[in-house]
Structure 1
Amino acid sequence: MSAAADFSMDRDGAAGADGQVLRVTGDLSLARLGDLPNRLEKQGGQVSVVDLSAVERIDTIGAWVIHRFAREHDARIEGLSGNGQNLLEQVQAADQPVQMRPQSRSPFRRVLAEIGESTANSARTALGLLGFMGETVIAFGGIIRHPSRFRFNATVQRFEVVGVSALAIIGLMSFLIGVVIAQQGAVQLRQFGAEAFTINLVGRISMRELGVLMTAIMVAGRSGSAFAAQLGTMKLTEEIDAMRTIGVSPMEALVLPRTIAAIVLMPLLGFYAAVLSVFGGCLLCWFALDIPPIAFVARIREVVPITDVFVGLIKAPVFGAIIAVAGCFQGMQVKGDAEQVGLKTTSAVVQAIFMVIVVDAFFAVFFEQIGWI
């Protein structure tokens, strides 16, 4: 068994005229330290060098005791080598002051810092999303050049998830929105004796804007979040890394089927939502305003130009691409732990809805400029 830790004091020319050398011997481990830390605290005099050349063994506790003593006496430590010296260096590096409470900052500086951090995060996200969109386009080009790599079954399965499974909720939502628009419009127009123009309001706003816009919001909350959660979970379980290892492109196998499904089905879902919204308005006008369905349909054909239908059908695939790319991008950004899946899923929905509304505003200005109003 190794000797217990001990020390002795003597003078050495290397320590200088006024300094002493502390020579430590024995086993500097927790089991053999004994009362060495207490005796070192009572040690007086100026110590310039701590000599550990006679130490048989040292662990983290022993290294900390020696480091603390040397720090208090402003002494240098000598005599260790190899693993012992490496352990002592790590203990010295870890001896940093711990801030129990964050430094207080003025509210103005705190708000300014949060604004700057949010701006930087938004810029990084926008740049990453742009790069991911480019990767998606490149993957789509690769599928065009090599059609055998197209995953037909996966795409059809996405069709069912994005489109067929969403028909009920989108139809109900659109029908109720049509009823609400007709009811609120009739209440306001009745003040001017113009209840008949409720048909114009329901028809144009449903076909041109609300049908496809509300569908995009619903798809973003339903399918965009699912895309982010699915890919995020696969990222955590390293399935995506395994796909890359065996030579399968995650962009072609996971991202493209979801993107194609959203682009193809959004026009169909948008038109379906617009029709059901008009149908809801038709029923409200029939029961509340005594406008029969035949008169309602005839009026719709007169006041809703075909360009309104085209506007909705043109915007829909763009919205679908935005939703799919945002969801897949956030899912591929998951790393660390399961909490990231929830955070990235939330980010995917918020990002998709925000971008859809922004792009819809650009479309409104564009179509007004070309005369489709």
Structure 2
Amino acid sequence: MQEDVGPLGDEIVSMCRGMGFALAGVCPAEPSSRARELVAWLEAGRHGTMGWMEQRLEERLDPAAMLPGARSMILVADLYETRREAPAQKPRTPRLGRIARYARGDDYHTVIKKRLHTLCDALRERHPDEQFRAFTDTAPVLEREHASRAGLGWIGKHTLLIHPRLGSYMLLGGALTTLDIDPPAEQQPVQDHCGACTRCIDACPTDAITPYSVDASRCISYLTIEHRERIDPEFHEPIGDWLFGCDICQEVCPHNSPRHAPGPWDAVGANPAYTPRREGFDVLEVLGWSEDDRRAAFTKSSMKRAKLEMMKRNALIVAGNILRERADPDLLAAIQRIANDELEPDQVRAAAIDVLDSRRGLNAEEHGGTRRKRESEEESERG
């Protein structure tokens, strides 16, 4: 017979906050209410080449399939960025390929999971007959749905979790347990505050977002992080200067620059572990990286999962976009060298060739436009 653990929910939330988590909550380990939507999304191929999302679907949709007898879930969130004030504008570094904010500091998998293991160990010591399993991003768990059930926020139109005062710059994790835990007394569901706003939808350069759904196969974050093949030239220009990931849908979200009266949430800041070490990398340097260079650059970073050929592919696309704006002989020479080097990996060389082909197309279009304008002027003069 299980002991009464009614007050434990409040205590667990307090423990999580004491560990530095910005948010924490508890919810029942119930099946997803979005099974139909997820299956339809997968069948439509909107997961791109992420075949692993089709695997372990039963576990993804029902936590009890991952941990038999599971009754409760503990959900936590770390902030990696706050935007309560507009960031100071600073000049852009030439040749900079930007990386998404979440990847500018330490690897969140390690930062979050270490504390979750500490939490699980403490609870296991008090409840030795119960099971606990920590997770953060790597297990087949619909973290955002369960986090919304646990009162951490609502799922926005860009499909990210949003807290009404802290915004969406957060990283999620949690623990699954056979322990029956009542939610804290103060925990309440957070209502959807997206309303009629469509800023994230309108701002997405690749039209990847529709209300409450993202076509991953068009998403810049997917293309630059998860997609391990050639990137269709259709997406080259929209990728802009994003070398790894993308923050556009969050940058435009009004909940990431809220204008509220001062309150207790103002004291909640980003976890220092995510303090940015850099905003991005010089793409010319990336094009010259060796595998040792990549490993050194990604020490303690969640970027380390990106292979060298992927980073060079991305750097070539960013380099091509830089050349759309201004001349850079060294950058152009690097692209040409890679395009002509048969020893380069296929997708790297293909990206270089695509960039050069695009430049030829632009130049032909510009020359054609100039020629047509000149012919038109000559006709006017003759007329």
Under a length normalisation based on structure 2, what TM-score does the superposition of the two structures give?
A: 0.20
Greater RCO, CA 8 A, separation 6+: 2
Higher percent of residues as helix: 1
Give the structure with higher Rg (CA).
1
Under a length normalisation based on structure 1, what TM-score does the superposition of the two structures give?
A: 0.21
